[in-house]
Structure 1
């Protein structure tokens, strides 16, 4: 399951929900016919498929209406739940575009072929995304996900090559 965002609040009386998006093109989600809703730590089989009736961007949040969320009480009951879709339901990415979920766990090596660890997560900042890289021993490194640092992403080899030294 690829997590797209989190339901943060109910909106109105008709069951609309406010969703904080984790992706950079949340309005593209309105083209999906269904969303899956689950809780952090749930196995993919526990996520519930819900038909998407309406989705619009309002400020930095999405306002969404789901078929099985009939009123405000039902919307409040799913507050805090995550919104996702199976990886196969997502459209293919363009060249040099990646879904964050595809980057998690990739090994990060510098130009000297030294391992810096694996990608633990990503952080969205106003300037650019940041890779959280950890090796379990020396803690966590934060590397900007920009072309000057990230030289190559090889999903097939599950490796990222970066311009970054081990002592930075």
Structure 2
């Protein structure tokens, strides 16, 4: 849908004293990161990565040599170019494809913009920010979100907060 970089993880903090970092994963687990040797247009080179056995990962980057440097990365999103990712099946998408899409109700009324996509276990959840700054969440199901494309996401009127 887009050629903008796709974020696969974010640094949540330092791990140990030797420069390793803890990662929050946004993809299919640690194995989704292993094929990528560099992130953020080559500014971070992955040396090794392993699961933290809690749903996240521990990583070492060549450019990060001590705890202080690792702590400075806190909050850094790790992204790769879309071309570096595998082809998607017809019914698959990247969460980043939905971010910042205009949201309309199924009767055509503007609702807001997609500000986040979460998954708490059962299904993906789309967080929508209204023009007044208020946010609400909608499950990413056919009943709640009948359709979307590269321009907009449609929400069934009964799900609009």
TM-score, normalization by structure 1: 0.75
SS in 2 for 1:23: coil
Paired residues of 2:107 and 2:157 also in contact (CA < 8 A):
no
Of Structure 1 and Structure 2, the greater strand share is in 1
CA contact (8 A) 1:108 1:162 kept: yes
Aligned-residue CA RMSD (Å): 2.6
Moved over 6 A (4+): none
Asked if structure 2 preserves the Cα contact closer than 8 Å seen for 1:116 and 1:166, the reply is: no
Tell me if 1:55 matches 2:49.
Answer: yes
> For residue 41 of structure 1, what is the aligned residue in structure 2?
none
Correspondent of 1:35 among 11, 34, 39: 39
1:161 and 2:154 are equivalent in the alignment: yes
Residue range with higher mean Cα deviation, 120-129 or 95-104: 120-129
Q: Deviations over 1:110-146 (max 9, x none)?
A: 3333332221222332322221223414833321112
Shift of 1:65: 1.5
Is residue 2:22 matched to residue 1:18? yes
Q: Is the 8 A contact 1:114 1:166 kept in 2?
A: no
Number of aligned residues: 156
Unmatched tracts of structure 2, length 5 or more: none
Contact kept, 8 Å, 1:123 with 1:129, in 2: the verdict is yes
Question: How far did 1:56 drift?
Answer: 1.8
Q: Distance in 1 between matches of 2:135 and 2:16?
A: 42
SS in 1 for 2:48: strand
SS of the residue aligned with 2:96? Answer: helix
What is the CA-CA distance between 1:32 and the residue it aligns to?
0.7
Give the Å deviation of 1:76. 3.0
Residue pairs, 1:1-168, within 5 angstroms: 1-36=5-40, 49-59=43-53, 60-137=55-132, 139-155=134-150, 158-165=151-158, 168=161
